Every structure is written in C-alpha cells, then in structure tokens.
Structure 1
Amino acid sequence: MSTRIEKDTMGDVAVDDSRYWGAQTQRSIQNFPIGQDRFKMLPSIVRAMGILKKGAAQANADLGELPADIAELIVKAAQEVIEGKLDDHFPLVVFQTGSGTQSNMNANEVMSNRAIEMAGGTMGSKSPVHPNDHVNRGQSSNDTFPTAMHIAVVEELHRQLYPKVQKLRDTLAQKSEEFKSIVKVGRTHLQDATPITLGQEIGAWVAQIDYCLGQVRHAEQGLYELAIGGTAVGTGLNAHPKFGDLAASYFAKETGYPFVSAENKFAALAAHDALVTTSASLRTLAGTLMKMANDVRWLASGPRNGIGEITIPENEPGSSIMPGKVNPTQSEALTMVAVQVFGCDAAVAFAGSQGNFQLNVFKPVMVHNVLTSIQLLGDASEAFNDNCAAGIEPDLAKIGENLDSNLMQVTALNRHIGYDKAAAIAKNAHKKGLTLRESALASGDVNEEEYAKWVVPLDMTHP
C-alpha cells in the first residue's frame, strides 16, 4: 500500500494514498475499532455532511469569509459527496467521540484533499484548501454534526419512510373498501364478540397508520431547526453573525425542506429533543405495525386448526421437516423489525437525556438509531405490502362458519328481552351445544319471527 504523510496538531500520520481522508480520520480508525456499524452504511449522514459543507462554503463566500476560488473548490468537492461518489472515503464507526468530531473532520479532510486534487495540488499539503481554516470555516463539530443529523433524518423520512408506509396504508385502505360487506366475528380478549365487517377490521389498521404518520410528520417540524451557527458552545464564536441563517437557507435550497438556524443555539447543541421526539413517533408506528402484523398472523392461522378467516400469499416453504408447511413469515419479519425499533428508541431516549452543560455527547449513536429505525420500518413496510398485504383474501366459508357459531350475536336481543334473559340463552347454547337460534326459541322468550327480525349480523355492524 502506497502511503502519504498527513499532519495534525499531534504529529505525522501515514494514510493510504488512495484515500482522501487525513490524519484525524486515520487516528479515529486506529483508536475506535468498535463494532461494524459505519456511517457509510447509512450514506444519508455522509450526504448530509456534503450538503452542510457546500452550503457553508457558499455562505462564507457571500459573507466575504472565504475567497471565491477556495469556496468554489469546496463546493465542487462537496457536490461529489452529495452525489455519493466519495462514500468509500468515510470509514468511521458510530462509536467514536460523542460530538461526532472525527466524522466532521473526516468530511473536512476528504473535501479538502479532493479540492486540492482538483486544483492540481498535493494531497495532504492543506494548500490551497485547508480542512479547518476553509472547509470548517465558521463551524465546530458541535454544531455541524447535529445539523447533519437533522438534515439526514428529514431526507430519509421522505425518501424511505413516508412513501413505503403510505404504500402499505393505501393497499390496506383498498382492501378495507373491497371487504366492507363481509360480516365476520369480532373478537375482544381473544374471545368471540359481536359481529364486524372485515372491512372495518382492516380499516382500523389504516386509521392507526394514518395517525402514526401524522405524528411522525408533526415531529419532523422540530428537525427543521438546526444547530448551525452555534459553533462550539452555542455562542457563535468565530462565525460571522449572519453565517448560521445564511448557511441554513442554502441547506433549504439544496434539499427543498424549510431548514432554519435554531433561535436558541445552546439548546440545539446541548439537547436533541426533536430527535428524541422523532424516535418516539417511529416507535409508535412500530407498535401499530406490530399490532397489524399480529392480527394478520392470527386471522390467517391454520390452515385447518386456526382461525383461518383470511388467506395470505404462500411465499416459501415453512419447515425443514414438515412437508407442505407454510408460515406467515412477513408478519414475523415485520414484528421483529418492530422489536428492533423499540430497542433503537430506548437507546435514543436514554442518549437524549445525557446532555451535560453545553453539549450532548451521544450524537452519533442517536442519529444512527433513528436512521436505522427509518430504514427498517420503510423496508419492512414495503416488503409486507408487496409479499403479504396485497394478497390478503377472505376465506368466506370459514368466515361464515365462525359467524354462524358465534354466540355473541345474542347481544342483539338485549334491548328486546333484557341482558339477563339473553345471557341465559347464550349460556344454555354453549352448555348444551345448541345453536343460538335453537337456544333462543327453546327459552320461550323469543319466537321464530322475532329472532329472524332481531338477530341480523349485518345490522349489528353499525349503530
């Protein structure tokens, strides 16, 4: 491996000559050999750093803080980062310094060296583009990394989460409409209850997803406020007074989202409540998807000795020993994702509580877990939609069989003969193995005509 010598304030470091990173990135590689989770595996944070450094250079040029030619070189290098062309030059793990300093310097060094190369200079020379003096002008890791966190999460919500969950939601809404007239047994406490329609049952899942998406979108509003301009502790030291606002306007232009510099930079550095709130909304969505997937698993259970009121696609063999067995694997995958998201949210919530004085130093693990939740929920929703929800069909024979034997239709008699007499009819039917109709007529409290008029399953699915 051919190497070059990069320098930082601690001395010389040998770096692979094919890489754009510098001394501080190399030290981080050596000092934090922790785990396999790297930010290049979540390229959204790398892209966000490119957006940040590009906008910062543009703002500094406008404010006379950077020469136009230097700013232009940084912008060109940053654009390559935005486009994903330099992802392999961001090797750092999540578990590093809690402010994300090494990741910020990774970005500064990569863009500095790429800009130097574009200018025909020598990589590692820090001339004509210096990683700290130019790429990091008016910034600190303490305000850039949380800014990148917010940019990355907002972009991933719109790229990964919203369209994929909405796709599932729309499929379920279509199924709800399609099955709106299919009357079936309702269940509470895992026990038979009064009738509902299959459309109503699926429609409840749609309503839950709508609510959760609304909560995520509401939480997203807090992510538009950025730490940029706060520099090291929130005072804005070494940044032009207009830098934060102007840089944020460039981020907004680049992404299409209404980013602004936070009014209170101290809070933006020391606490990440908007990220904690976003994570909590993702956890709620995970809970909704868990409920839906478990309902599907129960309703499709069988095929002969379960509830079996719906059928779902048969995607792969379900057993290495039981021939012909097929399992509800998409429900299993989605519920495992939900469990993982619960864990991610617990990590984010705890990390969010650990701000001390002017800085929270759990930033990388927070954004890593939020981005992981977004990716998992988006991917799992799409897979569940394509490989399960789209193929849900009612088993009309099983639905009819279960409905006919449902003793809780007796509830329709309450207003006519009273709760106590109706209860006696149901208990007698269950004890003697009679149908509800047989037990009602035997009681003498209901005649044939009254029973036919009062006990109509479809009429029991609405007020």
Structure 2
Amino acid sequence: MGDFRKESDLLGVLEVPADAYYGVQTQRAIDNFKISGQLLSSYPEFIRGLAFVKMAAAKTNYELGLLDESLYFKIVETCHEIIAGRFHEQFPVDMIQGGAGTSINMNANEVIANRVLEKMGKDKGQYEFCSPNDHINLSQSTNDAYPTAIKMGLLQMNAVLVEKLQKIVGAFRDKGNEFRGIIKMGRTQLQDAVPMTLGQEFEAFAATLEEDISKLNNNAGLFVEVNMGATAIGTGLNAPVGYAALCAKNLAEITGYPVVSAPDLVEATPDTGSYVIYSSALKRLAVKLSKICNDLRLLSSGPRAGLFEINLPPMQPGSSIMPGKVNPVIPEVVNQVCFKVIGNDLTVTFAAEAGQLQLNVMEPVLSHAIMENIHFLCNALDTLREKCIVGITANKEVCLNMVKHSIGIVTALNPYIGYKQSTAIAKESLETGKSVYDLVLEKGMLSQEKLDEILDPSHMLKPHNK
C-alpha cells in the first residue's frame, strides 16, 4: 500500500493518502472538481461553521440517547480543535463542485471521524468504530448540515467585514475633520455648482459607507434561521422527534448567535432568499465604494491639467514611457474589486433562481460567490484605508482659486436679483471672462457691501434666511 490506504464507497475502492484525515468521498471530489482553485481550506470561517454544526448535531444526538458518551466527547474535542484552526489543510475540496455540497459535508464527516479514530487508538479508515455517515452525520443530511454551515461561516465573515468597514468610515471622518476649513467648488454633472468644503465632501464619504453597516448586519441576521433536522427534503426522515428545535438551541449555545429552527423545514431546505438579500447588501457597498474611488481619482487628477484638489499617496511609478507619472493605483484596484463583487451578485441571483423542487443544488457556487465577495471587500477596504485615505493631503490654494473664478457662485444671487438676471450674468461672465463680482457691480445690481456679504463663500455653505 506504500503511502496510501484503501477505502471503499458505493463506486468501489479508491486509494487515499495514508496520513490524510479525509477519506474516499473527499478524494473523489479532489479528483472530480478541479475548477476554481479556491479550496474549502481558503475559507476558515466556513470550516469553523462545519465544526459548529457537527458539534451541535453530536450534542443533540447524545442528549436524545442516540450517541455513546465516549464517542460524543471525542467528537466535541475534535470539533474544538478544528474551530481553533487545526486540520484546516485537510479540507482540500474545491469550493465549486457538483452534488449540492455533499463533497464538503463528507469532507467534514471524514476528517472528524478519522481524528476521533486516532483519539481511540485506531487506524484511519476503521469506520466500524466511528463512521463518517453513521456517527458524524447522524440525524443529518448534506441538505441541512451544509447550508447551516454556510450560514455560520457567513455570520463570522460578516463580523470581520463590518469591523473593517467601521475603520474606513473612521478614516474618512478624520479627513473630513482635517479638511473642514478648506473651501472648494461642488459639482453636478461634472460642472461647477456651488461652494462647499472639502471636509463636507469627505464626511459624506464616511456617512454613505456608515449606512451600510446596519444594512449588512440586518441582512446577515437572516442567517440565524436554519433547517437542521430537515434531513433530505424537510420532512425530517431519520431524525428523532424534537431534533430540529434542540439542535438549533445547541447551535445557538455553541456559536453565540441567536440561531432558531425554521418554522417550515420543507420551505427552508430549498430556500436561498437570505443569501440573495445579503449579497445585495454587498453589491450596494461595492457600488458606493466604487463611486468614492471614482471621485478620489477625479479630485486628484492632474497635476497640471486636472482638478488637482487633493493628493493621493504615491505608491509606484505610473508609466514605463512617461517619466514622472504617478497613477491612482489604489482607487483603481478597489474599483476592480467592486466590479467583481457586482458580477458575483449576479451569480448569486442565477444560482438562487436555479433551485428546483425540494432542493437548490447550486449552493456551492452561490456560497463561493458570497464568501469571495466578503474576502475581496475586506482586503479592498484595508488597502484603501491604509495605502490611500490616511495619506491624502489637500491643495488648499487650488480649491480656493477655483471658487474665486467660478461662475457657480452666481447661484447665490438668485434670491436677490432673480433667476433671469443671474443667468444673464453667468452667460456674460463666460463670454467675456469677467468675474461675476465685477459684472454685478458694473450693472449696479447690488452694492459692494451687499455683494461681499452674499458672495462670501463661507456664507454659502449652509442654509440661511434672505
């Protein structure tokens, strides 16, 4: 046998690496699904979710008298080891695979069973003493254990994402405070509008991202409803009476999340609505984040032929042919992450729609798309904050000059000389190059004292009575 051991299943005998904790069904998945290159081991939160589910199932089976005490304690010990980060390399299944998640569920069952066998002093593969199916998967099916593990994984990942989002909101807010006294032109349709402060612009970035914290948390809250005890299609075949509610209670105690059993397990088993609505929150965050990056690129454009209102930290030379060029590479890479997230949301939509009858077999690609999105967004938020936002500086004189020479300030004259005359002043200013200020005085529309009061840029930053 050399460095391999032989295990058998429905399809026959297969060689498995002798030191592997996984078994024959995992090996078949390794051989069959060389798809994304992203393995289950790439997502530790998902692996911990599987361990949470298997521990809760073992506890429930033990409390209902279905599992021997000694075996129960060894299963729990093994699950704790996996939750602590051990054996994660033993989860080599591709995240995208056929079989509605059976490969991933069996990967967990086999790793836990073989580690338990090791604790019992037995050889790997001696499943008569601890079976992946009869003991670790007792009272379960892939169709309830797998989606529940996904949800436990996503709850963990959401907490990490929210923490990173809070940090970048704080970074934008710090810049808003730093730039609060810098007057600049606001723009609509990329045309001059009315004055504002650079601080207000950055505070708005903070505010729009902060909204998404509650949205993400609220949508992730749907993941606490699980279908454990549904077994194959929601009827609970092979699960004892009371298993569903007790397993949900045990899972809540183990994870600290307010897990509850779905009221209708037949409905809950094929339902993927919670994934769709959570994915939409990730897409919303990506859309906002990409818009902010677009703004940062525009505001820093130049340095001579652009807006040049802010400076982004220089991260690398920008050209192989143009000396001195520095590109906004950090906002650019975050834009691209956002495009990927938006595309993955469409994958989630198609996968959710593809459910048929009592099961949705597309949950592997669905879960992978969401987990990949969270992973990408976490990295993008950290990168944008650390390598861009905290190092942004303002070109105060450039901002002020644009305000002084803009016809946008004519908007402030509307309440005093009317829209029609304000339009005429704006048009003449554009045609002659004369300032709005000089034209109003030339035509005797307002006194210099009144005009100075109206056109004081700081006067136009907030509502006031005429």
Superposition TM-score, scaled by structure 2 size: 0.96
For residues 375 and 357 of structure 1, do their structure 2 counterparts lie closer, same or farther at Cα, with a shift above 3 Å needed?
Answer: same
Q: Residue 238 of structure 2 corresponds to which residue in structure 1?
A: 238
- Determine the C-alpha separation between the residues in 1 that align with 2:267 and 2:208: 33
Q: Residue 42 of structure 1 corresponds to which residue in structure 2?
A: 43
Aligned residue identity for 1:341: V
Deviations 1:137-175 (A, max 9, x none): 11000001100110000001112x011111000111122
Compare 222-231 and 433-442 and name the one that shifted more: 433-442
* 1:201-216 aligned within 5 A: 201-216=201-216
Deviations 1:208-254 (A, max 9, x none): 11222221111011111112111100111111222222222332223
* 1:53-452 aligned within 5 A: 53-159=54-160, 161-452=161-452
Compare 62-71 and 279-288 and name the one that shifted more: 62-71
Aligned residue identity for 2:201: E
Aligned residue identity for 2:191: Q
- Determine the C-alpha separation between the residues in 2 that align with 1:6 and 1:75: 25
Question: CA shift at 1:370, angstroms?
Answer: 0.6
Question: CA shift at 1:98, angstroms?
Answer: 4.3
- Determine the C-alpha separation between the residues in 2 that align with 1:317 and 1:275: 41
Deviations 1:373-430 (A, max 9, x none): 1111111111111111111222111011111111010111111111111111111011
Q: Secondary structure at the match of 1:298?
A: helix
Deviations 1:234-279 (A, max 9, x none): 1111112222222223322232221222222122211111011100
Aligned residue identity for 2:297: R
For the aligned residues, what is the CA RMSD? 1.3
Q: 8 Å contact 1:7–1:124 — kept in the other structure?
A: no
Deviations 1:293-323 (A, max 9, x none): 1111111111121101111211222222222
Question: CA shift at 1:331, angstroms?
Answer: 0.5
- Determine the C-alpha separation between the residues in 2 that align with 1:218 and 1:280: 12
- Determine the C-alpha separation between the residues in 2 that align with 1:388 and 1:262: 44
Q: Residue 14 of structure 1 corresponds to which residue in structure 2?
A: 15
Q: Secondary structure at the match of 1:14?
A: strand
- Determine the C-alpha separation between the residues in 2 that align with 1:34 and 1:216: 30
Question: CA shift at 1:203, angstroms?
Answer: 1.7
Compare 239-248 and 380-389 and name the one that shifted more: 239-248
Contiguous gaps of at least 5 residues in structure 1: none
Q: Secondary structure at the match of 1:235?
A: coil
Question: CA shift at 1:287, angstroms?
Answer: 0.6
Question: CA shift at 1:88, angstroms?
Answer: 1.4
- Determine the C-alpha separation between the residues in 2 that align with 1:203 and 1:35: 40
- Determine the C-alpha separation between the residues in 2 that align with 1:416 and 1:122: 91
Equivalenced residues, count: 462
Question: CA shift at 1:34, angstroms?
Answer: 2.3
- Determine the C-alpha separation between the residues in 1 that align with 2:7 and 2:443: 94
Contiguous gaps of at least 5 residues in structure 2: none
Q: Secondary structure at the match of 1:356?
A: coil
Task: Provide the identity percentage.
Answer: 38
Superposition TM-score, scaled by structure 1 size: 0.97
Aligned residue identity for 2:88: D
Q: 8 Å contact 1:425–1:443 — kept in the other structure?
A: no
- Determine the C-alpha separation between the residues in 2 that align with 1:198 and 1:241: 63
Q: 8 Å contact 1:229–1:239 — kept in the other structure?
A: yes
